[in-house]
């Protein structure tokens, strides 16, 4: 009896083969049902937004909508840049130099996603303990470079892909 | 349940019942032997069934007028309020009905905690109940998004962003949930679809919940096993049906009070502002029934840690039947657990209050203490109590303490034998 049980016979092979084909078939059917929930072609079409920045005075900022998310464009004053660069990197939860968050030669322009990296709220400008942004939802403080300084947010505010088309226009995306 | 004998009186009834024993089921439900000492805390099962049916009926009606599109949703809800005949009434019943549903479910859960209804042999009833509770929270959350006001939009953003805390795949999961790169029209569309589906899943689980209940029978205030049917039981109909109906009437008075006199008191005025992806409301708070969990989320200064503790605070309830080591079910005979029970209730209420307050200063400190105690209650207090506590003598039957004038185990034994 025990000898027969151990022996792999035709029926065992058929069972295993049927289950395998069945599982693959099931997966093939389930995947479209799962994947349909991902962003569709219309959403994926990497919308680019061109922004006219000629009207922004130093120290001021504007907010534009890109892919359904707010983007902050801040023209920083020289003092603000100096202050953002005087920070000891060891004091930062997510260490990153201010120089790495702006385009070279365009240091006054801070362009970043206005989305708190904690749970996605829009931080308020010119608020908080570090003169940058403050998220009212769960109390995250960002500095003049959009770096997280205090609160539950894990990372700095994200810098989107962007470029200067000319001196007065920024293209996001 | 299986030993229930029933033969329909009419010939036609017998013919039908032999082919589909629906009449046997009906007879089982009416004759179902119920402990005769059930108090009013036991009427919330019936009240909850009523709440579910109310939400389904009003919801189906609302779906006839609502438009699930980011540009039209807010307007269509106002259309329901102003133009649809009795639309205001139906919507207010539906929105306040959600709160009443949670009020009833919390009383139902805390009743179970006091009388030990989650213990052997009722663990499966308890777990199905928790699944219903989870589905209720998901359904309520998605329903709250549908009017597409400011709180809808930002509530949806915050809650779906919880999943972005998961390492590696978090961002992909969030995008998958949204169907876009932020909460947007695809999100609203799928939430409407699922908000319509989930109540029917809940209904299915409710049937399993009641089925699982009818196997061991009801627990009762003194938490003893009832031999049934006996002089300790009464048939469900008419004794329990009439009592449930009376309790439901009292409940409906409170329900109507909200619907007719303060229909917006449990909501947020911010939700009467159309959704704006550029501006977050100054103070985001979830609905009152989610506040204790929100307080736990915010009390942890780490994103992933907060999310883990928040989900953990619910999932720990699933293993409660095995964490509580005491063999005695009812808190009536557990002098120490009785105190810890009320401390736990106070802790949950305090967490709820802290969830509504800003997360800073003394509120944050108290929320942290409350969070630590919440977990201590399950992980330390309950397992240790079962070993240390000296419980009071448990009577052998419901009738015995009444007939003998006291809990005398010797008398109880005799009485038990007679049954």
Give the SS3 label for residue B143: helix
Closest C-alpha among A132, A130, A123, A131 to residue A153: A123
Contact B77, B91 (CB under 8 A): yes
- DSSP-assigned letter for residue A95: -
Q: B87-115 and B335-356 helices cross at what angle (nearest 10)?
A: 150
- Spatial separation of the C-alpha atoms in residues B99 and A102, rounded to whole Å: 48
A118 classed as catalytic: no
- Which of B158, B182, B281 minimises the CB distance to A67? B182
Contact B154, B280 (CB under 8 A): yes
Contact B136, B202 (CB under 8 A): yes
A119: distance to nearest CA of chain B, Å? Answer: 5
pLDDT at position B187: 96
- Spatial separation of the C-alpha atoms in residues B357 and B337, rounded to whole Å: 30
A7: distance to nearest CA of chain B, Å? Answer: 40
pLDDT at position A150: 86
**B residues 288-307 near A, CB within 8 Å?**
298, 300-304, 306
pLDDT at position A54: 85
What single string gives the DSSP state of each residue in B59-82?
Answer: HHHHHTT---STTTHHHHHHHHHH
Segments of chain A scoring below 70 in pLDDT:
1-5, 46
pLDDT at position A43: 81
pTM of the model: 0.89
Comparing alpha-carbon positions, the chain B residue that sits nearest to A115 is: B278
Contact B284, A124 (CB under 8 A): no
Which residues does B267 contact at the CB level (< 8 Å), separation at least 6?
B95, B287
pLDDT at position B411: 45
Options A103, A106, A138, A161, the catalytic residue: A138
Q: How many CB atoms lie within 10 A of CB B296?
A: 26
A23 class by beta-carbon count within 10 Å (0-12 exposed, 13-18 middle, 19+ buried):
exposed
Q: What are the chain B neighbours of A120 within 8 Å (beta carbons)?
A: 157-158, 160-161, 164, 182
B178: distance to nearest CA of chain A, Å? Answer: 8
Tens-binned pLDDT, residue by residue, of chain B (419 aa): 445 678 999 999 999 999 999 999 999 999 999 999 999 999 999 999 999 999 999 999 999 999 999 999 999 999 999 999 999 999 999 999 999 999 999 999 999 999 999 999 999 999 999 999 999 999 999 999 999 999 999 999 989 988 888 899 998 999 999 999 899 999 999 999 999 999 999 999 999 999 999 999 999 999 998 877 888 999 999 999 999 999 999 999 999 999 999 999 999 999 999 999 988 887 888 999 999 999 999 888 888 898 999 999 999 999 999 999 999 999 999 999 999 999 999 999 999 999 998 877 899 999 999 999 999 999 999 999 999 999 999 888 888 766 665 555 544 444 444 43
Strands (E), B299-369: none
Q: Cβ–Cβ of A40/B186 closer than 8 Å?
A: yes
pLDDT at position B284: 82
A62 and B CB contact within 8 Å: no
A132: distance to nearest CA of chain B, Å? Answer: 17
- Which of A37, A38, A136 minimises the CB distance to B280? A136
pLDDT at position B412: 46
- Spatial separation of the C-alpha atoms in residues B185 and B193, rounded to whole Å: 13
pLDDT at position B406: 52
pLDDT at position A135: 87
CA B140 to chain CA mean position, Å = 12
Counted across chains A and B, CB pairs separated by less than 8 A come out at 86
B183 and A CB contact within 8 Å: yes
- Which of B184, B284, B300 minimises the CB distance to A137? B284
A160 and B CB contact within 8 Å: no
């Amino acid at each position: 009896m025990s000898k027969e049980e151990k022996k792999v016979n035709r029926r065992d092979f058929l069972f295993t083969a049927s289950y395998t084909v069945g599982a693959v078939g099931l997966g093939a059917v389930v995947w479209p049902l799962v994947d349909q929930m991902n962003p569709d072609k219309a959403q994926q079409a990497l919308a680019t937004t061109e922004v006219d920045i000629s009207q922004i005075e130093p120290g001021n900022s504007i907010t534009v909508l890109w892919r359904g998310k707010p983007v902050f464009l801040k023209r920083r004053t020289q003092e603000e840049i100096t202050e953002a660069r005087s920070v000891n990197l060891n004091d930062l939860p997510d260490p990153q130099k201010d120089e790495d968050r702006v385009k070279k030669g365009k240091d006054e322009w801070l362009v970043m996603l206005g989305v708190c990296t904690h749970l996605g709220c829009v931080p308020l400008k010119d608020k908080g303990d570090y003169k940058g942004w403050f998220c009212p939802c769960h109390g995250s403080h960002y500095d003049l470079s959009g770096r997280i300084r205090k609160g539950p947010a894990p990372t700095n505010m994200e810098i989107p892909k962007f470029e200067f088309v000319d001196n007065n226009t920024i293209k996001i995306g | 349940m299986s030993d229930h004998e029933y033969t329909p009186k009419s010939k036609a009834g017998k013919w039908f019942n032999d082919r589909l024993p629906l009449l046997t089921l009906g007879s089982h439900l009416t004759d179902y032997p119920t402990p005769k000492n059930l108090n009013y805390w036991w009427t919330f099962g019936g009240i909850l069934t009523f709440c579910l049916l109310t939400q389904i009926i009003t919801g189906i009606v609302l779906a006839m007028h609502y438009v699930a599109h980011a540009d039209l949703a807010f307007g269509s809800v106002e259309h329901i309020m102003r133009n649809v005949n009795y639309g205001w009434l139906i919507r207010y019943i539906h929105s306040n009905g959600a709160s009443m549903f949670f009020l009833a479910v919390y009383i139902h859960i805390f009743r179970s905690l006091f009388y030990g209804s989650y213990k052997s042999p009722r663990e499966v009833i308890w777990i199905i109940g928790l699944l219903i509770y989870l589905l209720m929270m998901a359904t309520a959350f998605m329903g709250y998004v549908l009017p597409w006001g400011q709180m809808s939009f930002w509530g949806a953003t915050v809650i779906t962003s919880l999943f972005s805390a998961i390492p590696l795949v978090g961002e992909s999961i969030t995008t998958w949930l949204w169907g876009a790169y932020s909460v947007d029209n695809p999100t609203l569309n799928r939430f409407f679809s699922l908000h319509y589906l989930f109540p029917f899943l809940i209904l299915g689980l409710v049937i399993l919940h009641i089925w699982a209940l009818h196997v061991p029978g009801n627990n009762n205030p003194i938490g003893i096993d009832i031999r049934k049917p006996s002089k300790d039981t009464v048939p469900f109909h008419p004794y329990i049906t009439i009592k449930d109906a009376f309790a439901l009437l009292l409940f409906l008075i409170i329900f109507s009070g909200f619907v007719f006199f303060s229909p917006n008191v449990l909501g947020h005025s911010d939700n009467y502002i159309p959704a704006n992806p550029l501006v977050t409301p100054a103070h985001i708070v979830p609905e009152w029934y989610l506040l204790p969990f929100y307080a736990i989320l915010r009390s942890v200064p780490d994103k992933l840690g907060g999310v883990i503790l928040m989900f953990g605070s619910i999932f720990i309830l699933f293993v409660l039947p095995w964490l509580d080591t005491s063999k005695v079910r009812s808190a009536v005979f557990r002098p120490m657990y009785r105190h810890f029970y009320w401390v736990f209730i106070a802790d949950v209420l305090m967490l709820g209050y802290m969830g509504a307050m800003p997360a800073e200063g003394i509120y944050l400190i108290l929320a942290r203490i409350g969070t630590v105690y919440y977990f201590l209650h399950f992980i330390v207090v309950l397992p240790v109590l079962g070993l240390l506590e000296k419980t009071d003598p448990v009577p052998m039957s419901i009738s015995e303490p009444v007939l003998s004038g006291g809990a005398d185990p010797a008398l109880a034994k005799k009485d038990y034998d007679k049954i």
